[in-house]
Amino acid sequence: MLENGRQYDDWKYSGEDRPDGRRPSVAGFDPAVGGGLSAFTFLCVVITLTGAGLVMMYSASYNEALSLGLPHHYFFIRQSLFVLLSLACSVVIRFIPISWIRKSSPLLLAGCLLLMLMTLFTPFGQTRMGARRWLSIGPLPSFQPSELVKLSLIIFLSGWFSSEKSERSNLRKLVTPALVVLVFAALILLQRDYSTTIVYLGVCLSLFIVGGVSFGWMALFIAFLAVPGILALFIAPYRVKRLVAFLFSDLDPSGINWQVTNARKAIAAGGWTGVGLGNGVYKLGSIPEVQSDFIFASMAEETGFLGIAIVFVLFFLFALLGYRTWQRMLDRNRFLAYLAFGITTMIVGQALVNIAVVTGVLPPTGIPLPFFSQGGTNLFVVLCECALLYRIMLIAGGRIAVDGRKKAEAPPPSNLARQSLVAELPPSEDAYDFPEGMPRYEQ
């Protein structure tokens, strides 16, 4: 009866213990059915995006490497090393207790604070293209601490809004995380990374909303951020120039708009099927930093509309599976639910902002395209976030327990349980008495 009457069984026992020991996570959904498929699909999406990103990054970067006197595969090898490092960390993320991840958020924030201060105020910090965002310590490769801040804040906010401390009042729920968010936002802004600050604040505010902060307090918090945000925008002359160039794109097409103008030409040159992998010409000096923030233009030129359509589908599947996991975990483990929401919003949000900048929908800014842009720290953090999200999907699908152990198979229902289930089913027509000689069906 459990197999033949699955639809009735899901309805009857949604939210209750079933006779076979299973418990649906939400009404009408059995976590033991189809959960592993979502996790497997997500894994395929991440592998495809990572592989395509390495291929496109090599195609876009080999000319830049040669112009710098480096081997043609320099950026590709460097990016691949960060992929291998993230794979090693993914193994740790797969088996480390979830409680450790939750309790480690204060330590992670303290470490990120130290790294951010070292970047700004010590000789270990490096300035490139007018921004002091990189930290170089000894033989270690340089990295961006602001990328680590994103994941650490998602873990902290997820733990805060799922804890009992946040249930006392809306003011208590908002003040402590707001102060933490503002401190790191100020440090990122001091690194002259305005775009990362905006994306970072957007993700944090979205977590405030799903965490239950009332819209009244949210409006007050946003109004508080508006004044310093506008001041920070207009204090820096280069930001004003970018904004003016965006609003009036025809004023300086060969100056500050040179990058975006050529990026749009490259996208148009790709047509439906592209000019072929490795055959793009706009990457040969026409688009500065093409292997980094503007790699989408090179990808569109070489793979055409068909290629970028596939990329859009992959990111859509990423978002769909991520937000579906968030909904499935809400009534089981809010910490993991908020983690899934924050990670999905961060990665998909960065992708949308990057594509909007390259296509001229938003002003030029320095937001990398996840999985594709050259930048080891961003790729490392993104893949670690994906490893954590994959583990949450396995938990949501009933494949593993929250503590990381493989979930034991539920024993088959006993005969007593089957009889009890049959007794609760609605009576069929055979249960009614029909007078003798009366046909049960009209001919």
| Between residues 129 and 339, the one the model is more confident about | 339
Q: Tell me phi and psi for residue 254, to 5 degrees.
A: -100, 5
> Collapsing DSSP states into helix, strand and coil, what is residue 69?
coil
Question: What integer pLDDT is reported at residue 319 of this predicted model?
Answer: 95
DSSP for 152-221, please give it.
HHHHHHHHHHTSGGGGS-HHHHHHHHHHHHHHHHHHHHHTT-HHHHHHHHHHHHHHHHHTT--HHHHHHH
Question: What integer pLDDT is reported at residue 216 of this predicted model?
Answer: 77
pLDDT mean across residues, the chain: 79
- Cβ within 8 Å of residue 150, ≥6 positions away: 200, 203, 346, 381
Question: What integer pLDDT is reported at residue 426 of this predicted model?
Answer: 55
Question: What integer pLDDT is reported at residue 61 of this predicted model?
Answer: 87
Q: Which of 12-26, 107-121, 135-149, 324-338 has the lowest mean pLDDT?
A: 12-26
Confidence label for 29 from pLDDT (cuts 50, 70 and 90): very low
Chain segment 160-215, per-residue pLDDT in tens: 888 865 555 566 667 888 889 989 988 888 888 777 888 888 898 899 888 887 77
Measure CA 188 to chain center. Answer: 20
Confidence label for 386 from pLDDT (cuts 50, 70 and 90): very high
Question: What integer pLDDT is reported at residue 254 of this predicted model?
Answer: 55
Question: What integer pLDDT is reported at residue 377 of this predicted model?
Answer: 87
Chain segment 347-362, per-residue pLDDT in tens: 999 999 999 888 878 8
Confidence label for 238 from pLDDT (cuts 50, 70 and 90): low
The residues pairing with 405 across neighbouring beta strands, listed in sequence order, are: none
Confidence label for 407 from pLDDT (cuts 50, 70 and 90): low
Chain segment 118-157, per-residue pLDDT in tens: 988 888 888 777 678 888 887 777 888 888 999 999 999 9
Q: Is the pLDDT of residue 381 over 70?
A: yes
- Per-residue pLDDT, averaged over 322-347, amounts to 92
First vs last C-alpha separation in the chain: 31
> Collapsing DSSP states into helix, strand and coil, what is residue 33?
coil
The three state secondary structure string of 356-377 is: HHHCCCCCCCCCCCCCCCCCHH
The answer to whether 30 and 22 are in contact (CB under 8 A) is yes
Per domain, the residue ranges of the chain are 33-134+141-404
Q: Is the pLDDT of residue 305 over 90?
A: yes
- Per-residue pLDDT, averaged over 370-399, amounts to 90
Residue type, 267: I
Q: Which of 262-266, 274-278, 421-425 has the lowest mean pLDDT?
A: 421-425
Highest mean pLDDT among 104-113, 137-146, 241-250: 104-113
Measure Cα distances from 369 to 50, 221, 279, 355, 431 in Å: 12, 29, 21, 8, 64
Chain segment 84-93, per-residue pLDDT in tens: 999 999 999 9
Question: What integer pLDDT is reported at residue 291 of this predicted model?
Answer: 84
- Cβ within 8 Å of residue 360, ≥6 positions away: 246, 249, 260, 263, 264
Measure Cα distances from 69 to 72, 292, 297 in Å: 9, 18, 24
The three state secondary structure string of 83-98 is: HHHHHHHHHHHHHCCH
Q: What's the CA gap between 438 and 218, in Å, rounded? A: 70
